[in-house]
Structures are given as structure tokens and as C-alpha cells.
Amino acid sequence: MFDLFLPPHEKKLKSSLKNILGISPKNITLYTQAFRHNSVAKEIKEGVKDSNERLEYLGDSVLNAVIADYLFRKFPYKDEGFLTKMRSKIVSRNHLNQLALKLGLNKFLSQTNDPNLKFSSMNGDAFEALIGAIYMDKGFYAAQNFILNRILKFHVDVEKILLTETDFKSKLIEWSQRERQEVRFTVVEEQGNGYDKQFMIAVMVQGEAVAQAQHFSKKKAEQLSAEATCIKLGIT
């Protein structure tokens, strides 16, 4: 009944989201905001814009909680380190961007035509904002059901992700180029001889040692030290 009073674009959004979510949105205003990029948002109070950033923040927390619970139950004999790595892979910005495109969320985004936004994380941000909107509109269990039964069940191959090795060195170098930070991998110590030789590799950021790791393979030591650096610096 109330749909009769909705503007045409909100009616269309509500219909499309019902197919994606499996439930009918109640407060369509939340979902409209979930797809409003900061580039087109208006200031509503003291520097706060009506963009999707607050919903993104909320959705990020809900998504991490649901994925953590899912992995905890799925892998009862794996340690905290394994669970953390798996969760990081599933909720990585690149993976969330891919999920958003699979769902077609990019079609709903309101944004400027700035070409610099083409390769940004706005699709993944909108995905998290959508989860935040579901949480605010329908509650935690509706958001959990969407993540488990609409996303993980049909769009995430957990076993494939399990076998995927993240190239942390490349990720760190990409971050350094983006943030204009100097990153160097330095051999700080070599132990043993021949087949027993091990390499201690330190990652230097702006001349400061951030993390180090040791392995028989120099390449593996670089990957391990890069991974430790990414975790320490919060690079996802």
C-alpha cells in the first residue's frame, strides 16, 4: 500500500533489492543512502554528509562478526591465525568489490563521473553499506541470513579461497606506491650453510624496520615479513 507513494526510482530499487536480498526492504531510504557515494552526498549537519559511509562502517562490523562466527564453526580445529587469515581474504576490499559486481550493485550507485573513481573501492563500500542498511531495517538476523544464504552459499567458494595464497609482497608494494611510502626488503641475517641456510628478512618502511621473518627460502621469508607488515599496518 505504502509503495503507491514512493517515487518511481525508489519503487524500482525496492523491487530490484527484493530479488537480491530475498526479502522486501521496509525503510527504502536506508537503502537509497547505502548507494549514495560521498562524491554526490550533501552536508546535513556540521560536516556530516548523507553518504553511505556511516552505513558502510556499520556493515563492516556486522560482516566481520558473521564471517568470524561462520569460520569458527566451519573449522573447529583451526587456530586463531588461520581463522584471521581466512576472514581477511573473504572481506578483503578486492573480494568485496567482486561480490558487489556479481550482485549488480554498481547499477544502483549514485556517484560523480570522476574517472579516478573507476578503480576505487566504492563497489565494495556499497556492499558493506547495504549490509548496514539491512541491519538497521530488518535487524541482525536478517543481515546474517543475507550474508550466509545469499552471499556465502552462492558467491563465495571457501574451499578455493582456502587454497589461494595471498601475494603479500605485491600488496605491500602497491600500498607503498599508493601512499608514497618507501618500502625495502633487507636481509638482516643469514644463518647456517648449504641446505640448512636460513634468511632473516626485515621490511623497512621509510627507513624504519616494521617487521621481520625467517625462512630457508629468501622469497618465502619476504612473503612472511610482508604479511606481518600488512597485518601490523592494517593493510587489507
Q: Which of 53, 128, 137, 222 is catalytic?
A: 128
- Residue 58 makes CB contacts below 8 A (sequence gap 6+) with 131, 132, 135, 136
Q: Which residue has the cell 514512493?
A: 6
The H or E element spanning position 201 is strand 198-205
3-class secondary-structure state, position 47: coil
Active site residue 167: no
Name which of 172, 157, 162, 42 is nearest 99 in CA terms: 157
Active site residue 60: yes
The set of cell numbers assigned to 219 is 622469497
- Residue 174 makes CB contacts below 8 A (sequence gap 6+) with none
Residue 114, number of CB atoms within 10 A of its CB: 10
- Residue 193 makes CB contacts below 8 A (sequence gap 6+) with none
Q: Which of 53, 60, 222, 227 is catalytic?
A: 60
Is residue 180 within 8 Å of residue 220, measured between CB atoms? Answer: no
**What gap in Å lies between CA 31 and CA 15, rounded to an integer?**
12
The H or E element spanning position 192 is none
The set of cell numbers assigned to 61 is 562490523
**What gap in Å lies between CA 131 and CA 121, rounded to an integer?**
16
Q: Give me the active site residues, please.
A: 60, 128
